[in-house]
Amino acid sequence: MTLTEENYIKAIYHLSSNGEKTVNTNAIAEVLQTKASSVTDMIKKLSEKNYADYKKYQGVTLTERGRLVAVNIIRKHRLWEVFLVEKLNFSWDEVHEVAEDLEHIKSDKLVDELDAFLEFPIYDPHGDPIPDKNGNFKAVEKIVLAKAEVGVTYKCVGVDDTSSKFLKYLDSNHIGLGTIMKIRHKEPFDNSIKLALENSEIVVSQSVAKNLYLKKV
């Protein structure tokens, strides 16, 4: 399997909410920054190899074979992110692009040994679950900050936006995995939210609130 084929399979997986929803070619083209015609050509190839099920004018879903490929790529990506943060002192805003390259390494033995070396981590540095070698994810109990209740205390358990800009923004406001925060107020005018942190209070926008995952404590 080529690197390009792997990137397509991973994109379809993420767009389809864990493989359960049909994805149209325009959405894939936008994610991969390519032409819709190129997407159609690649999807036909993936369908011929039984990685995807493509229906003209309806879109594409992954087959079980394709889903397992996607989950394996995600496993490698997230394990490498853990390695980069815990063993090589990368910050959480630096690891995504590096892991994008490392996720295409083919050696199953290397990945299994990496998993063991890291003592079988369950979550990556952004709070996302790491599938085991059989493709099973540990369920994560979480809600987005935008849906959190006023007066309730939560712990930050993940982010949806893993871009460097967003993670640096969180760092500058002393928000990371494990940060405890209490919802002080939700502003009806613009849906901004006032948070009480350990030593400060901050107001965050709705765009931030939609990208921060919390769990009640």
- The pLDDT of residue 86 is 97
**At 149, is the pLDDT very low, low, confident or very high (cuts 50, 70, 90)?**
very high
pLDDT digit string (tens) for 76-85? 999 999 999 9
Q: At residue 19, does pLDDT exceed 70?
A: no
pLDDT digit string (tens) for 161-183? 999 999 999 999 999 999 999 99
**At 34, is the pLDDT very low, low, confident or very high (cuts 50, 70, 90)?**
very high
- The pLDDT of residue 50 is 97
Q: How many residues does the chain have?
A: 217
- The pLDDT of residue 18 is 57
- 82: closest CA among 92, 72, 73? 92
All domains in the chain, ordered by first residue: 3-62 (1.10.10.10), 143-216 (2.30.30.90)
Lowest mean pLDDT among 82-96, 103-117, 127-141, 159-173: 127-141
Rounded to an integer, the average pLDDT of 177-201 is: 96
The single residue listed with the structure tokens 């049909």 is 22
pLDDT digit string (tens) for 41-71? 999 999 999 999 998 888 999 999 999 999 9
**At 17, is the pLDDT very low, low, confident or very high (cuts 50, 70, 90)?**
confident
CB within 8 Å of 135: residues ≥ 6 apart: 67, 68, 71, 72, 75
Which tops the pLDDT comparison, 115 or 55? 115
Q: To 10 degrees, the CA torsion angle through 69, 28, 14, 159?
A: 140
Rounded to an integer, the average pLDDT of 175-197 is: 97
**pTM summary value:** 0.88
Instruction: For residues 29 and 7, give the distance between their C-alpha atoms in angstroms, rounded to a whole number.
Output: 12
Q: At residue 146, does pLDDT exceed 80?
A: yes
CB within 8 Å of 21: residues ≥ 6 apart: 15, 61
- The pLDDT of residue 20 is 63
